[in-house]
Structures are given as C-alpha cells and as structure tokens.
Structure 1
Amino acid sequence: MINPQKQQPLCQSSDAGFTIMESLMAMLIITILMLGISPMIVLGVANRVQSRRVELGVQAARAYIDGVRTGAIEHPKHELKMELEDGKNRSDFAKTEAPKPSNLTCDKNAYCENEKKNSIYCIDLDEGGCSSESPRDLIIQAFRSITSSGDPSNNIDKSYFLGVRVYRADAFKDKGDLTIGEKGAKAKARGPGLSDRKAPLVEMTTEITTGKPDFSLFCQRLGGCK
C-alpha cells in the first residue's frame, strides 16, 4: 500500500516587506520635506538668474559708456538743462524720469530712439533684434547734462556728465511705469532674484570728455588744486 508523501511546509522568509500604510507614510513625510525646502530652491535659482542678469547689465553699461567715449556710439541727445560743474546737482541729475513703456522695434546694438526727450539704446543678447517680448535683451536709458560753462575755447567746455540706466527689455511690454533707483548717483545692482521687473538693473553716472584733458583742467573740474 502506497503511503501518500507529506507535503513539505513552505519556508517562511525572515525579511518582511513594507506595508501599504508604511509606504504611504514615507511618501507623506517626503512630500512635507519637499514642500518645506522648495521655496529655498526656487529663491536660490532666481537669485542666480538675477545675478547673471545684473552682471550682463553692468557689462552692457560699461560697453555703452566706452562706445560713447571713443565715438563708436553717438552721444545721447537727451540733454537736461543743468550743469554739474564741481559735482553739484548730482542728486537732481539722478532723479531724471524713467523712459515710458512702449513696443520696442529696434535694430540690434543701436538706438531705438535718440531725441532731446528720450535716448534709449538696445543691447541685443538673443540675436533677434530688440523686442519687448524678449527676456534676455537689455535697454539702456542715457541722459546727459549740458556742457560746462566758461571759455568756449577751453576743453573743459566739451565735457558733460552722462547718466546710464539698464532695464530689461520685457519691462517695456505693458503699461506699468518704469521706476528709477532710490539713490541713483552710484552704480547699483537691484536684488534679490525676485526684484521689481520695472526697476533698473544697474545705474551709473560718469563724465564724458570729448576734448583732450590735461592736469590743469582736471584741477579746475575739482575746484582747484593746491
């Protein structure tokens, strides 16, 4: 008589797996942690983008100033009826109104408009011409003081103060007014990364001398040398 062979019991594994509840709890904890640190990640990325934009703005402002000094770029025609001899009236000079929003149709690296009431210059960074829809292009607002008073034959009369502000091109695409910096007379970078899009990235004031300066004229500009 054949005896039926007994079935061997299955070996139980010593490794227990995660239950559905444990998995859900782990996902919940990870979600809470990600919600906590995501604003810091977003802010960090925005700060890096804004820092790069400000860096490009500083380079654009310096390139424009160098171009005006060398004659490669036409002098701005936006002239304020004030003299800044001996550094006077700088605070009023820095309060010059911001340009008005408009639809930009500018050639790359050229003036969009250069008139007595407005001088804006395009810095084309995306190789597509300047457009108010571009998040990369930069617009420079330039304005100048009148030349210094005195003897017309003197080279000092060929000098003027040049103010430069650099804006994002996409700041011109809607009706909101553009703003100016609070102090304005010195180069200043706006921040942090989520700063006002209508505010200038950089503001600078410098002196442009079209004649040949010498030491005596430099002393005269400073009010005299002892």
Structure 2
Amino acid sequence: MLYERDRYKAISFYLLNFLANRSKTRLQESGFSLIESLIAVAVVSVLIVAIAPLVALSTSARINARRIDQATQAARSYVDAVRGGVIDTAAFPSTLIRNTPNAQGQYTFEAIVAPTNAPSLALTSTCSQVTNSALGSTTVLGTCVDTNGNGFSVGDPQDLFIQPMRSGPNDATELRGQGYWLALRVYRSDALISSNTIKTGIESDCDSGATAFASTSSILCPLVTVRSQIPPVGSSININEVSKGIGSTN
C-alpha cells in the first residue's frame, strides 16, 4: 500500500514538473524575435517617410485655402464699403489711379506698382502708419484687416493688407456721377516687412500651382485680386461707358 502511494506521488510530481517546464517553454517562445522587430521598425519607418510629405502638403493646402477664403471675404467687404459710401475713394493718391484705358477702352491695373516693403517697419505700427509706408498715403482707408481678433500687426501672418486701385477722375463729384472700376490686391500683412520686393501677382512665380507651400515667393504674392464695377450715383449715362469705367463723355 505504501509502495502504491509513493508511486502515485512520483507520477504526480513528474506531471507537475512536465507542465511547469512546458509553460516556461511556451513563454520563452512567445512574442517576436529581434529580427522580426527590426523588420517591423523598418517597414513602419518607410511608411512614415512616404506619408509625411502628403500630410504636410495637405495641411499647407488647407491653411492656404483658408487664408484665400478670408482674403476673398475681405475684398468683398471692401467693395461693399465703397459702394455703400463708407470708404471714399476720391482721396486715393495718383499712384493708385488708372486714368488711361487700354486699346479696348477698358481699364487694367497691372501697371500699378505693388505696395512698398519696409523691413524696418515696427510690428506695433498703426494702420495709418502701415498704409503710409506701403502706399505712400494716409488717405486710403480700410486697408488693414485683423482676421483673428488680436489686433492688426504686420508681423501676424494671419492678418491681411489690401491695396485698392481705381479708375476715373480725381474730382469726387464727377467720380460718383460717372462710376468707375475698383481693383483690389489682398496680401498677407507680413509681406510688408519682407526684405524682398512685393509682387503684383502677374509674375510667373505667383502662379497658384506653384504656391501651395508658404515659400518666400508666395508670401510676396497677392492672395487674391478682385476687380469690380462701382456704379454711378444719381446719373444717367451710356451703359457701354459704365461697363468700360470711363463715365460720361459729356
């Protein structure tokens, strides 16, 4: 009887040892080997390198699209303000006025120079100071646009600067009576403190397909350019002359 009991104990002890050793073997064999881990790291690295430019391009394009949308809204608001009489364009300096139509009898504004850059312009400059520096006049209103509610600053890439231009005479009464063309270029405000010359938008490096990323060249180009008719007030003139922006010939 004692012999049978010892034999059962021996068998039980053997089975326990066998199961314990088997569990240890399974634990040691589970998981990834060092080579497998290195291969996985290499594959993930290749994927990250391949995807990173696409993510950067997508983010840049989204930011640029948002900025262009804000510039378009700012230009529309400026046109509405001029049509509503809030902004008086009669006081524009001659550098922003196009008095001579082209061969087709229409006014174009490509020949008007872009705003003047001033790298030394203080970031705390008022809108009047900025306008005087960029356009050479303090009589042009509505040029500074604060898009993020923290106050306009030439050092804020989110803020905008508008360069307005028009056709027509200098006399305010005659200008309102005949109607005219209004053109706008909307820039990033930080373009004004760039060390490079600001562009008018007709240059080859201002092509929209080449400015997805915020390069130095794209910062100097206008975000949008707008051209709109300002109808005459209290005057009955030839509609063809209104469409050309030359007003009455009488």
**Band of TM-score, shorter chain:** 0.7 to 0.9
Residues 144 and 48 (structure 1 numbering): CA distance in 2 closer, same or farther, change over 3 Å?
same
More strand by share: 1
1:68 counterpart residue number: 82
Tell me how many residue pairs correspond in the alignment: 213
1:218 to 227, 232, 239: 239
* In structure 2, distance between residues paired with 1:148 and 1:172: 27
- Give the SS at the match of 2:117: coil
* Shift, 1:147, TM fit: 2.7
Residues 70 and 112 (structure 1 numbering): CA distance in 2 closer, same or farther, change over 3 Å?
farther
Residues 67 and 194 (structure 1 numbering): CA distance in 2 closer, same or farther, change over 3 Å?
same
Residues 83 and 123 (structure 1 numbering): CA distance in 2 closer, same or farther, change over 3 Å?
same
Larger radius of gyration: 2
- Give the SS at the match of 1:13: helix
Alignment of 1:86-101 (within 5 A): 88=105, 90-91=107-108, 93-101=109-117
Unaligned runs of at least 5 residues, structure 2: 245-250
Residues 114 and 85 (structure 1 numbering): CA distance in 2 closer, same or farther, change over 3 Å?
farther
* Shift, 1:20, TM fit: 1.8
2:162 to 140, 147, 157: 140
RMSD (Å), alpha carbons:
3.5
- Contact 2:167-2:181 at 8 Å conserved across structures: yes
More helix by share: 2
- Return the TM-score normalized by structure 1: 0.77
1:193 counterpart residue number: 212
* 1:165 partner letter: R
- Identify which range, 82-91 or 7-16, moves more after superposition: 82-91
- Return the TM-score normalized by structure 2: 0.70
- Contact 1:190-1:202 at 8 Å conserved across structures: no
Residues 154 and 25 (structure 1 numbering): CA distance in 2 closer, same or farther, change over 3 Å?
closer
Unaligned runs of at least 5 residues, structure 1: none
Alignment of 1:35-50 (within 5 A): 35-50=49-64
* In structure 1, distance between residues paired with 2:56 and 2:199: 26
- Contact 1:69-1:210 at 8 Å conserved across structures: no
- Contact 1:78-1:144 at 8 Å conserved across structures: no
Tell me the percent identity: 25
* In structure 1, distance between residues paired with 2:151 and 2:225: 23
1:78 counterpart residue number: 93
